[in-house]
Amino acid sequence: MKLPKLRELKEAITALIKGPYTSRFPKEPHKPHPNFRGQPKFNDQKCVGCLACEEVCPVGAIAHKDVLDGPHGGSYRVMIHYTDTCIFCGQCEAACISDHQGIKLSNDWELSFFNRKRESYETIEKELERCEICGEVIACRDHLHWIAEKIGELTYSSPTLYLSRLKSLKIVDANIISALKDQGRSDRVKILCARCRRETTLTTK
Ligand code: SF4
Ligand code: SF4
């Protein structure tokens, strides 16, 4: 009979005392290492819909779609993360302007799915702010608030920024703003895109 080597004997005795090195997956759930780089996840509360992560993603695993006048009347941006394209590099998290919290690598490693078309992506929705004259998309409302927080009292030099804020706080009603429709100098006090802002500023009416 061949005698076991000393190292194997030691490992067998250690495993008897401390338990086996391997896990009992799939009977028991696998616990990944704390530094494991798993699937990135959007955080709906922190993401402001700025698209910086989409810009830096090296493989195009992040995309967006702007839905104008959606089924419930509002306009919103759908942020999409494609699990089947992602290489888990973490560039999105590193570039996220929202304190790196808008999208974060998770320890989610179990990514198999049956229906690639339906299950290979995750989405969140962010409300859009649009120009009150031409309807052009300006930015996500949360992004405008993020800018307002950054620039502090300078916010009051931009009607778009402070009106957006007042709308969210329900101090100003969207219909009241839209009632000022004479396309003249009074239109300056509206949520406007850069082109309409320039035109209303230059108008002499
Ligand atoms: S982890 Fe890398 S590949 Fe995946 S979405 Fe983020 S930037 Fe793109
Ligand atoms: S806030 Fe972060 S996660 Fe959201 S769109 Fe901007 S960079 Fe991406």
Full set of structural domains in the chain with CATH:
36-129 (3.30.70.3270), 131-205 (no CATH)
| Tally of CA atoms within 13 A in the half-sphere of 69 that contains its CB | 2
- For residue 119, the CA-to-ligand 1 centroid distance in Å is 17
What lies within 8 Å, CB to CB, of 146 at 6+ separation is 48, 50, 97, 98
Question: Does residue 38's CB lie within 6 angstroms of at least one atom of ligand 1?
Answer: no
Return the bridge partners of 140, or none.
Answer: 128
**Phi, then psi, of 21 in degrees rounded to 5:** -75, -35
Per-residue pLDDT in tens (0 to 9) along the chain, 205 residues:
566 688 888 888 888 898 877 888 888 888 888 889 999 999 999 999 999 999 999 999 999 999 998 777 789 999 999 999 999 999 999 999 999 999 999 998 888 889 988 899 999 999 999 998 888 999 999 999 999 999 999 999 888 998 888 888 878 776 555 555 556 677 788 888 888 888 888 876 6
Cα–Cα distance list, 171 to 140, 152, 176, 180 (Å): 19, 19, 11, 17
**Count of C-beta atoms within a 10 Å radius of residue 10:** 11
From the CA of 46, which ligand is nearest?
2
Confirm whether pTM is higher than 0.95: no
From the CA of 57, which ligand is nearest?
1
Which residue's CA is the nearest one to ligand 2's atom 3?
Answer: 102
Question: Does residue 47's CB lie within 6 angstroms of at least one atom of ligand 2?
Answer: yes
What lies within 8 Å, CB to CB, of 85 at 6+ separation is 59, 60, 61
Question: Does residue 147's CB lie within 6 angstroms of at least one atom of ligand 2?
Answer: no
